[in-house]
Structure 1
Amino acid sequence: MTDLAQTPLADTGGRSLFQLAGMRFRRNRAAMAGCVMLVAIALFSYLGPLFVSHTYDQVFPSYVTIPPSLEPRPDTSALQEVMEGIAGRARVTLKEFAIDGETFTATITSDKPIDPRATRYFDRANEFRDTKVVATEADGHTMTLSGQVSREYFPFGTDSNGRDLMVRVMLGGQISLAVGLLASLVSLGIGVVYGATSGYIGGRVDNVMMRFVEILYSLPFVFLVVVLVVFFGRSFILIFLVIGAVEWLDMARIVRGQTLALKRREFVGAAQALGLTDWQIIRRHIIPNTIGPVVVFVTVVVPKVILLESFLSFLGLGVQAPLTSWGALISEGANNIQSAPWLLIFPAIFFVATLFSLNFVGDGLRDALDPKDR
């Protein structure tokens, strides 16, 4: 009996509210699938360029608006025609042409002695590289060349300028996700504090603060952007600052409405009886209880911000070429939907997948953080 009495009890400490919310969130399969999709898209956008030899601004004149394919370019059957075109630009005649694996051999002739620097014409083409003179005959009128066939892969095809669309989609994902998240964080930080303060204090302070919000609502968004661009110049940081400075207005009104309902609750009265200051009550009780609606709204703001960034880029106030974003790629693809539908399909797939994932994650967070379910 003594041994049993002295045995320490197992640690049965309770879980915090955030731990319980995390457990409910992990049980939501749709929300977890959305998280996995968002992580996959982020890894594709930010780590994908490390495994691709092409750059986002690299132009391939020989591969303009080619459809997506997993086969290497160029096709072996088309190399003969390509070589004849290069020989014509070099003002020589192609006599023989043969391919052995990844190596080509060509014999060219001319009425005049051929300058060895003519090999530059062959290296300038996207199909060949490392061209060198193997032999010279007939006092320089005949020359044998050898080099490597340059194989390129374009799984997403190329755009109208001959740039790899897959790399462009990766770059667009980097900019769109960064602008969406940063602008949403700006609107979240300003809107939550502003709305909670206005709703909790109430009275004349609330009246003045809300009239200021309505004044900002009346200002044209494009006019505000143009003024800021004129004063501060065009930059990537300015994009998400401007968008975030506009989107916080909706956030503030939502949080204010939640705060007006929360400040009459019993736990707020108990906090006031304990002597907590207004800022302590707002920080400890009001803001945490508005997380559910706020998180759901943030998941809606991110794709909206991405579209706003696309609108600014279209007006020449956002991301400029050769930089791009998903919105800019979708806009470009919509103009070429009949001749090159892949220019619209691939960026739209990533944008729609991000949109659905954010909605699923937002619903999961709303259910997990809902105070009524605690």
Structure 2
Amino acid sequence: MTIEQVVSIISAIGLSAIVSTIITFVQNNKKNNLDFVTKERSEWRKKLKEILSELSDDTKKESAIIKLKSEINPYGKNMEFKHTKPYYMKEGHIWDLLDSGENVDFDRLAFYIELLLKFDWERSKSEVRFRPIKAINQVIQCLLFFSSIYCIYIIFVNFPNNSNNILHIINLLSSFVVFVFILLQPLITNAIISNPSEKQREQIWVFIVFYAIPSIYVSWNLIYEFNLERSFYIISILLIFAYEISYLYLFYIYEQPYIIEIKRFLRLKSKKHQLGVKLTNQIRNKEDRLNQYEYDTRSINSLNRRLKKLKRKLTTRNRPDMYMLHPILFCKYRKNRKRIVKEVKKIIKEKN
């Protein structure tokens, strides 16, 4: 073995040891941070539960409000823009209720605290749960970034051989626009998470322009460059839409239901709305009654026959095989009234 081979083996071992050490350090650091945050949130939830119990006592309401002010997010106090996602996520609605003076609605305040406890519990479960899709998204973002650069390179290389300059220039400009959109995707994702639009049409257009079109453009250029089959065009569209929708949906798992419940509680209910809800509940109640399974005489007789068969099987199973070895069990079996009745019926049938 030469010196160069020894050096290469040592360097490979040293590199693997360094990489494994770094991975172990990152995992341990992440675990420690997660354990610390989980423990602190558990203590915070306990304090909120104590405050919630004190709000039901008239003598402790003032002290409960003081404690609550020290436990909620101070960034939500006196926010200018109301009824947005940052407003609710920073407990701005709780601050507005606490700053209303002596006319504090304690029932509403207790409901807000209950929703906050439920939201924090769901957030803690979501953070502990393993989600590989975030790491997959980072890998896909890197692939899209380098693939878009490769598409620009391909267009530049093929420019002298292209006779249709107008279409080529349009393709080149499109590749630059797509490259910019791919760079903006992390910023757009953060903006969607922090303050999403409530209009479904705007959400669809943002998804199509900033997520679907760049991914489809890059994938189609690569499929065309490598002369793949036409079916790959359709497959790429389906995979891109499925992935992007599943990735963006992750941010609405626990945050969006929390905000929806607050808005549902604050929404003014008109008489027509109340009448519609009442009629809907009556209709569902009637449908449930219609769908209930009713036992008729035939089904009841069938169930009785099955019950008798099971009883006979149990009686037969309880009969000891060797009565000399089990005298007590055999005496119990002999004194069984149902068995005696069955034996008497057999004797009567034989005589007849």
Q: With structure 1 as the length reference, what TM-score do the two structures score?
A: 0.23
Q: Larger % of strand: which?
A: 1
Greater relative CO, 1 or 2 (CA 8 Å, sep 6+)? 1
TM-score by length of 2: 0.24
